[in-house]
Chain A
Amino acid sequence: MSITRRSALAAAGLLATPAIVRAQGNTPIRIGEINSYTAAPAFTLPYRNGWMLAVEQVNAAGGVFGRKIEVISRDDAGRPPDAIRLAGELLDDQKVDLFAGSFLSNIGLALSDVAKQRKKLFVGGEPLTDAMVWQNGHRYCYRLRPSTYMQAAMLVDDAAKLNAKRWVTVSPNYEYGQSVVKWFKLMLSQKQPGVEFVGEQWPALGKIDAGATAAALAALKPDAILNATFGPDLTNFVRQGNTRGLFEGRGVVSVLTGEPEYLDPLGEETPEGWIVTGYPVDSLTDPANKAFIDAYKARFNETPKMGSVVGHALIASIVAGIAKSGSTDTEKMADGFAGASFDTPFGKAAWRAQDHQATLGTYVGKTALKGGKGTMVNWRYVDGSAALPSDDEVKKMRPA
């Protein structure tokens, strides 16, 4: 009983704190942050480290126009309705100047809708859904990571070079997976006329029946495979595929697999030569990446993951946006973020004016096995701006 009462009191105390009336002077800029910390810890905990590091760095450097930044973070438990309620709490009770975060696409879209309704700025970090900046895009929503369209576009050149005719796809059955497969099919068919997609597998997220899936794909005798599964599903699928020889003599194009979050668990089973998007953290030596990796290692005593980069860049992108807007007024920020450029571990990126998508890119390379661990080789950085459709096409998809 004591635990309940104590935590209830703690919670009540937290809520009862009166909203402090602040002058514009040197009070901190308050950024609300919501993510699925308990539902997807493998990604979101490194992400939290990333933004914590960025906040410390920004504040150590004096903040934005003399004001420090402060992040008020919330766990949405992976449930959109809770994320919506917490967004309200951050806006109304915590009086945040803007809010950011989210991992799952459906939560990202829900928060973006809150932003639209409440006319407050929302900066999505991780969600990959195209709808966030296109079909459902609006004035008050910005998104950082390369979307499913961009991920597919980055991979399609190398995919075409495989010169494979018969393709199969395996993808988790929800919007992210459906969207990857849709764009990949479309773009590859344009690039390589005559390509055939002879089979699809749609495992339920987190519940892949890997043996049956791998066997069903192998039976189709494809030349190449597109994979969009990740996490535990990917581990199971790769193991079954390895044993059953599914990947032997076949090209595999795989979204996100090069990210340490998903590559590390493959360990010595990492298949070689897959064309992937990801983050080759162990072989990056350029100054921007190295500075980030060193600072991160020094602070948290572990190597950063993709989530860490997203968290770090998220704060940088917000700080740059506020600095360019010259104010934390929502209307000024909604205009002012557009065109702001910021430094990320991957190099310079900017907020596009036409659809509020960031030009942050990602690395494309091949998987390899080194010393019993998976890694990326022959990688190159693809800037986000190189993987986006023309402005006319964007205009058609995005409501005015």
Chain B
Amino acid sequence: MLSTLLVQLLTGLSGASSLFLVSAGLTVIFGVTRVVNFSHGSLYMLGAYTGWSILSRLPREPLPFILGVLLTVAALALLGALLERLLLRRIYAAPELLQLLFTFGVVLVVQDATQAIWGPNDLPLPRGRWLRSFVEIGDARVPLYDLILIAIGPAVLAALWLLLTRTRWGTLIRAATQDREMVAALGVDQKRLFTSVFALGAGLAGLAGALSLPDGSANLQMDLSIITDAFVVVVVGGLGSVPGAFLASILIGVLQAFGIVVLPQATLVLVFVIMAAVLVVRPNGLLGRPQAIRENPASTTLIRPAEPALRWLGLAALILAAAAPLFVGPFLLSVLTEMAVAMLFAAALHFMMGPGGMASFGHAAWFGLGAYAAALAVKGLALPMTAGLLIAPLLAGTAAALFGWFVVRLSGVYLAMLTLAFAQIVWAVMFQAVDLTGGDNGILGVWPAQWATDRLVFYWLTLALCTAATLVLRTILYAPFGYALRGARDSELRAAAIGLDATRLRHAAFTIAGAAAGLAGSLAAFSKGSVFPGFIAISRSVDALLMVLLGGVQSMAGPIVGAIAYTGLFDLLLLATDQWRAVLGLSIIVLVLAFPQGIAGTAHRLWLRGKEA
């Protein structure tokens, strides 16, 4: 019994080391550059593939292995530096989180590029004898390689600690982590600093990727399967804190190893439960420090309702959308329906993210809850479709109000990650409650009521409801509530001084955003005739985030433009080319470079410039 516990503990610790290696790079990059680097998983995957290409050509002895791993680290560091110098550097001035959109484009491009270079098949690295050997504990065996990993984790931690505390470069890094502007003011060349940090982070990702090879293979799924776990570790540890990431890795790795024994199904969601618990108790992670209060740079101008010319433009677009079915075929009609739903979904996220200042990585939770509520109302309770459309926003709003109570106490990336944790918990519940929800097979046969079966009618219904709900959101934002919300976002202290309760304002905004997403979800359910756990998945939340960022966070029209652009691009590219990921990724990268304020934001700025001239 004791030996079993010890074996499980050691296994957990080796898993923890692997987690730490991936997340160390991510936390270093975030700490200094504030870039939420979604492509860190891609760097990890490239590390594994590069490592495979190098190591499979070397003899299977320890020394060549070490050499091959170091070569991989160097290659990835170089790649990271290139990525930073050629691309990321151009958008540091852009609003926060726009870099996330950008790195997501990189993810897509890397996926297609990797498949083109290395092919679709998994690439296993043959293991030398020493990699297959083990140590006996009682009658159980622990792989020697696990023990090596357990040693590498602390060794990398120590090396990073020495680098950060005992070198001039490290001092500058730590200074930049605390106050980037001050470091710049003191005359430090930020560009070089950022490039070197990115190289370090990418090198660490490469190290993690190469070291994952003896336990498995290089494969095309590894980028997305690791990235959320890495983010969880970084956030649980405290953003930018390397020792925090180490602690968090151990916590998660060990709990995971024992969780598997106690409740095997828990592996779906355990890391997110841990994250939610930690963030509720420690809003800045285990070792994170509260972020310095910064005035929101984008908030210096007051956002007013659009001038008449733009309103006419909006009205014209709406009339065009309503008349569209008269010219387009059934497929474009289904794309338009998706666009309408996406518009409301994105507008709901924008409501809390833009004016509310609360970015969410888990907005699909409310979308999915709305969809499931509608589907269960119709299929389970045999209620009419209209009842389903009513119940969905109510239930999603109620759930958002409950979760929101915890969420709104946090800020920034911590807040976003807590919403992600809740979304994942909701997802896991829907996934596991097979009897109620059909598990991953979903609920089928959720087709619209008789009177709305005609796709034209359903499109007009969707368009009407989505437009109305979006306009309601807009009205709220230009009502005193909206101004108060933006006031609390821009300066919580000043808002408090004039008697505004920021927490309550945010909580209300969060609830409204949840309800609106729920309505969008219920319409999606009826338009697809089915509901799946995928409606709540991370990729769906990311979709919403991409739409808002693409359109422009600081523009009321942003989410609408973003939803139309992203949905249109995605749907048409999927149809047009096998390489849609690469093309979509490149499009996103190009759009970010061309429209650093989002499409609507940049367009509006150009419009204003024309006026002033």
Q: Which residues of A contact B (CB under 8 A)?
A: 1, 3-4, 7-8, 10-12, 14-15, 37-38, 41-42, 45, 74-75, 77, 79-82, 84-86, 88-89, 92-93, 105-106, 109-110, 113-114, 116-117, 129, 131, 136, 173-175, 178, 200-204, 206-207, 209-213, 215-216, 218-219, 231-232, 235-236, 239-240, 242-245, 261, 264-269
In the bound complex, do residue A86 and residue B260 qualify as a contact, i.e. CB atoms below 8 Å apart? no
In the bound complex, do residue A209 and residue B334 qualify as a contact, i.e. CB atoms below 8 Å apart? no
Chain A interface: which of B21-29, B163-171, B406-414, B439-447?
Answer: B439-447
The distance from the CB of A199 to the nearest CB of chain B, in whole angstroms, is 8
Distance, CA A37 to CA B432, complexed state (A): 27
In the bound complex, do residue A80 and residue B530 qualify as a contact, i.e. CB atoms below 8 Å apart? yes
Distance, CA A231 to CA B126, complexed state (A): 16
In the bound complex, do residue A215 and residue B140 qualify as a contact, i.e. CB atoms below 8 Å apart? yes
Distance, CA A7 to CA B111, complexed state (A): 19
Distance, CA A240 to CA B8, complexed state (A): 13
Given contacts A41-B220, A105-B441, A216-B260, contact A77 B574 (CB under 8 A): yes
Closest to A13 in B: B576
**Binding site secondary structure of chain B:** helix
In the bound complex, do residue A213 and residue B575 qualify as a contact, i.e. CB atoms below 8 Å apart? no
Given contacts A110-B442, A173-B267, A212-B260, contact A219 B216 (CB under 8 A): no
Q: Is B160 an interface residue (CB 8 A)?
A: no
Q: Is B134 an interface residue (CB 8 A)?
A: yes
Task: For the complex, count residues of B whose C-beta is within 8 A of A.
Answer: 84
User: Can you sample 28 A-B contacts with CB below 8 Å?
Assistant: A7-B583, A7-B587, A15-B332, A45-B120, A80-B530, A80-B534, A85-B335, A105-B440, A106-B441, A174-B439, A204-B268, A207-B267, A209-B15, A211-B14, A211-B143, A211-B215, A215-B257, A216-B264, A219-B8, A235-B216, A239-B214, A243-B132, A243-B143, A243-B145, A265-B124, A267-B124, A268-B126, A269-B127
Q: Is B261 an interface residue (CB 8 A)?
A: yes
Contacts of B15 in A (CB 8 A): 209, 211-212
In the bound complex, do residue A175 and residue B338 qualify as a contact, i.e. CB atoms below 8 Å apart? no
In the bound complex, do residue B267 and residue A243 qualify as a contact, i.e. CB atoms below 8 Å apart? no
Q: Which of A89, A93, A106, A268 contacts B532 (CB 8 A)?
A: A106
**Binding site secondary structure of chain A:** helix
Contacts of A175 in B (CB 8 A): 434, 439-441
Chain A interface: which of B95-103, B280-288, B378-386, B565-573?
Answer: B565-573
Contacts of B145 in A (CB 8 A): 243
Q: Which of A10, A84, A174, A211 contacts B146 (CB 8 A)?
A: A211
In the bound complex, do residue A203 and residue B574 qualify as a contact, i.e. CB atoms below 8 Å apart? no
Q: Which of A11, A86, A204, A265 contacts B217 (CB 8 A)?
A: A265
Q: Is B316 an interface residue (CB 8 A)?
A: no
Closest to A211 in B: B11
Q: How many A-B residue pairs have CB under 8 A?
A: 235
Distance, CA A213 to CA B358, complexed state (A): 38
Given contacts A14-B575, A232-B216, 13 further A-B contacts (CB under 8 A): A8-B569, A15-B332, A114-B529, A117-B529, A173-B267, A204-B267, A206-B225, A211-B15, A211-B143, A212-B12, A235-B216, A244-B141, A265-B121
In the bound complex, do residue A81 and residue B578 qualify as a contact, i.e. CB atoms below 8 Å apart? no
Q: Which of B225, B261, B580, B587 contacts A207 (CB 8 A)?
A: B225
Contacts of A3 in B (CB 8 A): 583, 586-587, 590
Q: Is B276 an interface residue (CB 8 A)?
A: no
Contacts of A215 in B (CB 8 A): 4, 7-8, 11, 140, 257
Distance, CA A236 to CA B213, complexed state (A): 9
In the bound complex, do residue A201 and residue B215 qualify as a contact, i.e. CB atoms below 8 Å apart? no
Contacts of A174 in B (CB 8 A): 431, 439-440
In the bound complex, do residue B442 and residue A80 qualify as a contact, i.e. CB atoms below 8 Å apart? yes
Distance, CA A211 to CA B261, complexed state (A): 12
Distance, CA A232 to CA B444, complexed state (A): 30
Closest to B568 in A: A8
Distance, CA A88 to CA B133, complexed state (A): 55
